[in-house]
Structure 1
Amino acid sequence: MRKSLYIIGLSVLVFSCTSQKNIKKNSYRPKTAVSQAKPVNVAAVEKQKPHVIKDHGVEFFTTNIADITKNDNTASYGSIVSAKPAGFKVVKTYFPAIAQNFRQKYLILHYTVLPDDKSVEVLTKQNVSAHYLVNNLGDNEIYQLVDENKRSYHAGVSAWRADKNLNDTSIGIEIVNPGYKSDATGKKIFQPFSDEQIKKVAALAKDIVMRYNIPPTNVLAHSDIAPTRKQDPGPLFPWKKLYDEYQIGMWYDEAVKQTFIVNAETEVSTKYNEPSFVFVVQTALQKFGYDLFPNGKWDDATKRTIEVFQYHFRPQNYDGVIDAETWAILQALNQKYPVK
């Protein structure tokens, strides 16, 4: 009897465990089919991309395969710098990734306030530098002082629109020029640039902005990015000539300026000292790109910012005072070059 009961109990236990296992197994119902990732076809990837070029053991990639309209660029204008981890091999099987662009976003123009020999000495042996130096010797030479892929110390404390510390993202061009002297009234009297220098600067700037796809809004004076500290390259630098003849940098449209001039004359003549008008002008300067805090006062920072704006876009009069023409030009520029 006991043996019969034992056999019956064992049969029930086996049936119960088997049933539970089957229920657990059958209850799993994946909602979607899981597909395995397909292996990467290395040969197809390599076929789509130009090969890395090797020259005396140095690697280069000089073809852009990214979308330049999105400011993406895979081309290298120097050798490819790669890590060399101990015990491992870095390979370029999938090089380059499409999603990349250049460090070089800005082109900043300066003058040296020194003669040729002193300019070379200071920019190569002291704690200040630029990528290029344009001499005033009447020859066809432009001095390169710093690799474009490296930071030169030319911008200092600087800002434009949303960017700060522009040494990180810019190429600097220094131009030999004595700068300015103040006359008896305190007005700054600047010295002109030679035609040979301007031709060099224009050719050099054109090459740089084309290679790095630098937009017009990012071709600037040192004074633009540091208006309370700097004046260079001053009001005698021919920004309009670079715009008209070489398509470099920004300039306003005369017809658009004229649409603003009548209202500007009224505002300047009737509202000049009203804090609300001052605030509007300051906001327009800030919107255009200058590092200025609107406060409704014609303070020193605002006057200096207006002065350097006039250096660049209204050099006939650079007294730091908003007149109708300066105000109309600023509005025309903001319309033409909105912040994106």
Structure 2
Amino acid sequence: MRKTLYIISLSTLVFSCTSQKNIKKNTYRPKTPVSQPKTVTNSASQEKIKPQITKESGVEFFTTNIADITKNDNTVSYGSIVSAKPAGYKVVKTHFPAIAQNFRQKYLILHYTVLPDDKSITVLTQQGVSAHYLVNNLGDNEIYQLVDENKRSYHAGVSAWRADKNLNDTSIGIEIVNMGYTANAAGLKTFQPFSDDQIKKVAALAKDIVTRYNIPATNVLAHSDIAPTRKQDPGPLFPWKKLYDEYQIGMWYDEAAKQNLLTLAQTDISTKYNEPSFVYMVQIALQKFGYAIEGSGKWDDATKKTIEALQYHFRPQTYDGIMDAETWAILQALNQKYPTK
């Protein structure tokens, strides 16, 4: 009996000691430091530090890009920040700007005025047509700005290129003082040349615009490209190849690619020219490149004018609107180099 009581007492003592040890372990807390460190917010939830908005004479500007330029997602502003002023409330820019945005300016469109300098200014500032810039023919170093780049000017009219329409909404327009063309009784057009001073101005201006807005080569266009059935400007004497070669502005085909395609193009023209299937193929190739044209399978007026627009831009030596072998090879070379994405 005594032995049994001894064992029970010993078991109770062991259990008691074990329990005390566990209690001490579970209830132990380190001493609270005298000064607590500041709570650190999770870095994943911290907002990225953004460049500051600048203010000049009470007008706010934000001129730093914090987004991905390769995607044309840009937060750069080339004008003052326009903000709402709701009655009784304050608009704050604590979280300005959001990175999910891009420029309105996707295209650069070149025109001629068909008017002398003084009348060009009057018409483009006082009537229902305008452009962002006007390049005069006075031999000076001035370029006239007529419309804020952040605003729509009325220069493109009914227009389309690839998937986009109404290009006033998404473009900057440059008008160049030039008298356009005269036509003889047979309808043959004779165009007026541009001065070297004008081309230098246009090149410098275009280079600045396409660089700032990251405008791709495929979106630097003639008015005749985006409205081929209505317009001819800036015509075949505008030096697109010079802008491409010397200033890296706009599109041009690769000569080697054109030469490789020329033999087959000659065969197509000589053997298939009047076949509806070939005409349709040409129309689809023009459409693929960017022109707004329907596939009718006929050499209709719209197709002829669209071919003429292509020739103004890329084969200015002959601009008769006839799809000859060289024009056909050039169009295919352009589609190889600038495929629709």
In the superposition, the TM-score normalised over structure 1's length comes to 0.87
Q: 2:223 aligns to what?
A: 222
Opposite residue 94 of structure 1, the aligned amino acid is: H
Bigger Rg, structure 1 or 2: 2
CA distance in 1, matches of 2:41, 2:281: 59
Matched, 1:287 2:288: yes
Partner of 1:135: 136
Per-residue deviation, residues 69-114 of structure 1 (Å, max 9, x unmatched): 1111011111011111111111111111111110000000000000
List aligned pairs for 1:74-113, cutoff 5 A.
74-113=75-114
Q: Distance in 1 between matches of 2:324 and 2:42?
A: 64
In 1, distance between residues paired with 2:300 and 2:136? 37
CA shift, 1:150, in A, is 0.2
> Gapped runs of 5+ residues in structure 2?
1-39
CA drift of 1:48 comes to 1.8
Partner of 2:244: 243
For 1:69 and 1:154, locate their aligned partners in 2 and report how far apart those are by CA, in whole Å.
Answer: 28
Residue of structure 2 equivalent to 1:146: 147
- Give the 3-state SS of the residue equivalent to 1:174 in structure 2: strand
Residue number in structure 1 paired with 2:64:
63
SS in 2 for 1:48: coil
CA–CA distance in structure 1, aligned partners of residues 310 and 79 of structure 2 = 36
Q: Deviations over 1:246-274 (max 9, x none)?
A: 00000000001111100000000000000
What SS does structure 2 have at the residue aligned with 1:54?
Answer: strand
Alignment: residue pair count: 302
Give the letter for the 1:297 counterpart.
K
After superposition, the C-alpha distances for 1:207-247 in whole angstroms (9 at most, x for unaligned) are 00000000000000000000000000000000000000000
**Aligned pair in 2 of structure 1 residues 292, 40: CA closer, same or farther (>3 Å)?**
farther
Once the two structures are superposed, residues 107-152 of structure 1 have per-residue CA deviations (whole angstroms, 9 ceiling, x without a partner) of 0000000000000000000000000000000000000000000000
CA shift, 1:56, in A, is: 1.5
Rounded Cα–Cα distance in structure 1 between residues aligned with 2:42 and 2:76? 24
TM-score computed with the length of structure 2 as normaliser: 0.87
Instruction: Give the equivalent residue in structure 2 for 1:3.
Output: none
Which amino acid is the alignment partner of residue 331 of structure 2? Answer: L
Q: Distance in 1 between matches of 2:265 and 2:136?
A: 41
State the Cα distance separating 1:287 from its structure 2 match: 0.4
Structure 1 residue runs of 5 or longer lacking an equivalent are 1-37
4+ residue stretches of structure 1 with deviation over 4 A?
38-41
Query: Percentage identity across aligned positions?
Result: 82
